[in-house]
Every structure is written in C-alpha cells, then in structure tokens.
Amino acid sequence: MSSFYITTPIYYVNDVPHIGHAYTTIAADVMARYRRMRGDDVTFLTGTDEHGQKIEKAAEAKGTTPKELADRLSAGFRQVWEKLEISNDDFIRTTEPRHKAAVYEVFRRMQAAGDIYLGEYEGLYCVPCESFWTETQVVDGNCPDCGRGVDTVTEASWFFRLSAFGDRLLAHMDAHPEFISPKSRANEVRQFIHMGLRDLSISRTGVKWGIPMPDDPEHVMYVWLDALVNYLTAAGFPNPGYETRWPAQVHVIGKDILRFHAIYWPAFLISAGLPLPERIVSHGWWTIDGEKMSKSKGNVIDPVAVAEHFGTDAMRYFLLREVPFGNDGDFSIARMVEMYNADLANGIGNLLSRTVSMVHKYRGGTVPAGDAADAAAAPVKEAAALLPSSFHTGLDDPQRTGRGLKFDEPLEQLRQLVWAANTFIHDSAPWTLAREGDDARLDTVLYNAVEALRVAATYFYPVMPEMAGRISAAIGLTLDPYAIDFDAAAHWGQYPAGTPLPAPEPLFPRQDLKTVPDHLTVKTPQENPVSDTSAETPAAQASDPPAATEATRDDYVSIGDFAKIRLQVGTVREAERVKKSEKLLKLQVDIGTEVRQIVAGIGRMYTPEEMLERQVVIITNLRPAKLMGVESQGMLLAAGADEVEALLAPSGPVTPGARVR
RNA sequence: GGCGGCGUAGCUCAGUUGGUUAGAGCAGCGGAAUCAUAAUCCGCGUGUCCGGGGUUCGAAUCCCUGCGCCGCUACCA
C-alpha cells in the first residue's frame, strides 16, 4: 500500500468560490478517489490561505477581527466542498498553530543553509494584491494584476537567495521530465529561470495579520512562503513521521500560480534540505460563454448553483469531460445541457432505466442467472475489460500524459461500455425473446445488461461518487469502492444473480435548456474585474472582499494627497517611435518652462505624426524612469480598459504648462 | 521584440517513433426497433489536415517560409 499525497492550492478566504476553484478541487478529488480504489493510502489536502493585508483591512472595515472573518469565510469554503462531494482528508488553515510551527522550521532550515539575509527593499506595492512590483512591471502607475494604484514602499526586508537556485531547479527538471506538466508550462518555467532569478523578499513590515518573522516581530512572513509551506504542515512536518507523506505525489494547480509552485516552492525546499514534490500539474482557465470570467460582467459561475440545478455529479462529469486537462475551456450552459442529455440522461441513465424495467417486466424484479460467457455480450465484456487500463494510462503514467492528467480517457471508455451495452440489448431484443418465450436467452441478456451496470457504476465512482452509489443501489448492490480490487472489478460475471431490484426511477432526468435558471452566477456583483478564473492564492487575486462597500472608503484620498500630483498641459513638439518597441513613443513635450521627454505606451493607437502639436496632460512630478533604455520624465494621461484607447487633452487650447486642477 | 505553442469535418477534439482510401463524439439527415428518461440501434462526411515551398518511394505527422490565434516574457511614468 503506497502513500499518495495530493493537494489543491489553499484558496484565499477573501475570494468567493467559483467554478475555477471547483474545477481544481474536483480534479484532485477524482484522483484521490481513484487512488483510494487502487488501494493507496491517500491523503487529499485542501484548505484556506488566511493571512495578509486584504483580510486585515476587510475585517477592519467590517468591525471584526481578521481571525473571526477568516473563520467565517473558511467555513464557507468547507461548505462548498461538502456540497461538491470533495473527499479531502484534511483541511488546512494557515492560521492554525501547527502551520506556524512548520513555517518556522522551514525558515530555520533555510536560514541555517545560509539562504536568508536582511536587506532593504524598495518597491511599488499593491495593497489589495499584496504584491510588490518593479517599476517596469507597473502599468500606468497601477498594479498590473488588478489595475489599482500602487504605493512606493521602502522597508527593511528579509530576503531569500532565490538567485542561487536557477541551476539546481533546471537540473531537477532535466532529471524529472514529469515534474511539471503540461510540457508547455514546463517550458515557460525554464524560460523564466533562464532569464535569471532575483532574490525574493520574504517579509513585510506594513502588515500585522500574518506569521511574525522569527526574532523580528516587526516583520511578517511573506504570504507565499507562508502559504506554500501548508503542504508540509499537513504532512505533519516537522514532527517525526512526516516522511511517510512528504514528498507529495501531486500538486494540482491553476496555471496562474505556476511560478510560485514550480520555482519558489522547489527552491524553498531545496534550501531547507527537503525533497521536492513529484508532480506539479497545471490546468487551464474557464471562460464563460467564450468570455473571460469577471465580476463586472457578472458571469462568475457559482459551482453550488450549477450543482443544485444539474446535480453535483453531473457538474463534475461535465467539467472533466468537456476539456482536456491543461487546456483552457469554455463553460456554457448550452454545452452542459447537451452533454448531460447525451451522456448522462440518454446514456447511462437510460441504460439503467431500460434494464431495470425489463427485469421488473419480464422477471418480476429479480435478476435472473444468465450465461456471462454469452458470445453476443462479448463486446460489452471487452469494453469493461479496458476500463482499468484507461485509468492507468490516463491518470498514472506521467510520460504518456505529457499534457497532464487525462480524465477524458477513462470517461471515454465508460461511454464505450454504455454504448456496447445498449447495442447488445438492441441486437438481442429481449422484448422479442419474452414474446417468443425464449426464457434461457432472455435470462442471459438481462443478466449481462445488469452486469454492465455493475461495472459502469464501479468505474464511474471517482467522477460521480453519489451516482455510482445510486446506480449500484438500483441494481440491488451496495457499492463499497474502497473494498474492491480495482483491476479485478472489471472481470465479467460477478453480479450475484437472484438479487431483487427496487422500482426504476430516472437518475438523470433530461434537461431542457429553457428551464435552466439564469442565476447560476455568484450573486455579489463587484465593480472590479476578476482577472483570473482559476484556483489561486493571494498574489494572483484581484477580487474585492465581500465587504466591498465599506472597504472602498479606504480608497479615498484627501485633497492634499491629490495636490501632491502635479498635472500640467503640454504641447508635443517632437514624436518618434522607440526602436524595437511595439507601443512606446518618445515625445518631447513643451510645458512652457521646459521641454520634457516623455515615453508613452500609446504606439498602438497613435502614430508619431498625429501626436505632433497635440496638447496632452502629463504628470510632471513623477520620478523619472527608463523604458527600453529611454528616460521618461513624466507620464502622459490616457484612458482605456486594457489598452490605451484615447488620450486626455483639454477641450480647447491652453498655454503650455498650465496646471490641471 | 524574444521564447514557446497551436491552426484537422458545422462544433469540441484524437491522430503514437512519417506508411494502405485521415478518425471519434456532439449537432444534422435517412432508416429500423419499441424494453426505456420521444430514450436506443443502424446508415450517411468529395474535410485544400491554415497558405506556400522543401526533404522522402511516401507527410496532418520532419525542415523552411507566410498568415492567423494563444501563452510566457520584455518596454505600456
């Protein structure tokens, strides 16, 4: 019995659980259930990430404590997972004492290895995202993730010598080609490492809600160091015996947090002298009806609402069947209805229904004994025999699944089984046999049909645990998935004849697109878009706290703050493209007292020619910066959603240098 | 701009190390059957395998190039 430790990311409590979170967690759950069936000693971990300034502020705005807020939100996640039949063995919270102990021990080891030092950090900080950005990362003075303003922060900071780990990380990837999948993601990681890693600031001073740095209570542990260690914590680290769990076999993650898991985390572990996880499997994002999920569009899908309408199992089935793992996918109710009807209602659902009702109609509700070696049933038997290996090839073999996990292989094989069984019934025409009184043959057909359902239920279990149980019950059995031998369960002819069946009832009633409610989206419309749609942790977050109404007051600035920013009108005297740049224009702007050189990212909307003699608004007291090696002495104001759409300018001629107020 | 990937039937995608007339599901059309959730079963695709070159006895599969899309990354003060 081998140990199988699989994790989801820990989700930031401040976020509302959506279809992306559900997808990650369901995928991990299916793996966990499958490995339990195989007889592995599975530890399936999920949990919540609860520290950070965002929670601190949200709590303050709500007049509560961060802990109380986190308690409530974390419980919300637990409820969602319960509803979605998530079979996690442990649920970790970063606010637990056991976690603090683990973080300290990891830190102590990293320090002992000489990879920690005290330095000074100056950076631009985005409070909502709790992320530092370099000057080159920031977009128009705003956070590249969430688009909100950043503050310049200088502080003493502890650093991790990440720069020293590039070669070791690459060597590990060379030696373990299955370490990161899909392969394209591994390539991205390599590329990122090749460009050179910079030391990582791992402490913050402005934040109180977090794990204090050892011996330096002014600092709090950087969220990612705090968060990633959860995987060790849950394994029992640093207590004796954690080695039976660690290293984890699989970290399931969304592509947005790849870098943290594929670079930072392994580097931390190498430094601390701990083994690396075996596989990091990254999946794609869901769009909704072809559009990016965002709160402003109000199209963020609530997995619980979907589960309530279609059934949890149907949703689980859809998510895994619709999209090859690793690819981005599109969630549309129309597709969901289509697949539900084709595979579930018309497929397994109808197969069960017709079979059970024939047993009732022709045999008084008791499954007769029949010939399991019947020649006509051979194709069904063969389809069943391929089921175990479809799981093995789809989910076990990292070489073969270079794309990641392939849930579609076993699901396709199950579809084959259902199809073979339907064909068998059709060709055997039991209704004719009944009419003609061919009892022996009729018994055999019914027996084999029921046997097909027994096998289908067994192997549907990982994806549709509840339905697997109900199918089993409908054929008079009690499914005990973890008691069976996974491979042997497919062997034909195990159904115990003579079993009485309950009356048939539809397990998957047909769905009609017209009757699907249109409120399957989360109900808290926010003004800020969610930039990502998958599972993630804080640095990748862009959503607002539920307490947004109160919290936005924190965004107010005083008139004095505004006065600090000097806005002036200037006239463009010269304009040219910055060479080798896609959208940078180098402008010479006359502001009366002087001519400023401004580099602006407007090259997609404006040609240098049309900029000439145009009046523009610029910030003239912004710290100069270099872009593509060209100095910019200010910033030009423009507006647009993502890309610049239009410049800001006075509605009539103004003397160059005039203040904007 | 750099690096990587993708572009196969109306839709979603398979196509192993290049090898007979390129496949599946869904949708659509026609038929059969009637146990069943109007479900099932059978039959039906002349697709420029994005375009153009090339290597080869032979390429969707390898090389070059063009176009389109995507990801990461670098400049968007």
For chain A, which ranges sit under pLDDT 70? 122-153, 296, 397-404, 518-519, 521-564, 579-582, 604-605, 623-629, 640-645
pLDDT of residue A397: 65
Instruction: Judge whether A132 lies within some domain.
Output: yes
Note every long-range contact of A419-423, with CB atoms under 8 Å and residues 24 or more positions apart, other chains counting. A419/A347, A419/A383, A420/A379, A420/A380, A420/A382, A420/A383, A420/A452, A421/A351, A421/A380, A421/A449, A421/A452, A421/A453, A421/A456, A422/A350, A422/A351, A423/A379
Let me know if A179 is exposed, middle or buried by CB neighbors in 10 A (0-12, 13-18, 19+). buried
Q: Do residues A278 and A341 both lie within one domain?
A: no
Q: Do residues A345 and A211 both lie within one domain?
A: no
A246, A262, A284 — which closes off a domain? A284
Distance A499 CA to B64 C1' (A): 68
Instruction: Judge whether A320 lies within some domain.
Output: no
pLDDT of residue A529: 29
Instruction: Judge whether A295 lies within some domain.
Output: no
Distance A384 CA to B38 C1' (A): 29
Model's pTM, two decimal places? 0.80
Distance A321 CA to B17 C1' (A): 29
Instruction: Judge whether A302 lies within some domain.
Output: no
Q: Do residues A231 and A377 both lie within one domain?
A: no
A265, A284, A303 — which closes off a domain? A284
Question: How many independent structural domains does chain A possess?
Answer: 3
pLDDT of residue A556: 46
Tokens 């003493």 — which residue? A156
Taking only the tens place, the pLDDT of each residue in A616-649 is 888 877 766 666 667 777 788 877 544 566 778 8
For residue A403, give the CATH number of its domain. 1.10.730.10
Q: Which domain holds residue A480?
A: 333-490
Sheet holding A151-160, edge to edge: A131-133, A116-126, A151-160, A200-201
For residue A620, give the CATH number of its domain. 2.40.50.140
Instruction: Judge whether A361 lies within some domain.
Output: yes
pLDDT of residue A656: 80
Strand B nucleotides in reach of protein CB atoms, 7 A cut-off? 1-5, 12-14, 25-27, 33-42, 71-77
| Shortest-distance nucleotide from A449 CA to C1' | B35
Instruction: Judge whether A514 lies within some domain.
Output: no
Q: Do residues A79 and A185 both lie within one domain?
A: yes
Distance A647 CA to B54 C1' (A): 49
For residue A165, give the CATH number of its domain. 3.40.50.620
- Say how far apart CA A303 and CA A296 lie, in whole Å: 18
pLDDT of residue A104: 96
pLDDT of residue A415: 92
Distance A44 CA to B36 C1' (A): 39
pLDDT of residue A143: 58
Q: Do residues A461 and A579 both lie within one domain?
A: no
A437 by DSSP, 3-state: which? coil
Which residues 630-659 on A are within 7 A of strand B at the CB atom?
Answer: 632-636, 638, 643-644
C-beta separation of A26 from A458 below 8 A:
no
Which residues 324-383 on A are within 7 A of strand B at the CB atom?
Answer: 324, 327, 329, 338, 341-342, 345-347, 349-350, 352-354, 357-358, 361
A572 by DSSP, 3-state: which? strand
Distance A328 CA to B68 C1' (A): 19
Instruction: Judge whether A298 lies within some domain.
Output: no
Instruction: Judge whether A556 lies within some domain.
Output: no
A431, A455, A490 — which closes off a domain? A490
Taking only the tens place, the pLDDT of each residue in A414-437 is 999 999 999 999 999 999 999 999
Q: Do residues A174 and A32 both lie within one domain?
A: yes
pLDDT of residue A406: 82
Q: Is the CB of A259 under 7 A from strand B?
A: yes
pLDDT of residue A401: 47
Q: Name the protein residue, with chain letter, whose CA is nearest the C1' of B3.
A: A191
How many H-runs (helices) and E-runs (strands) does chain A carry?
23, 25
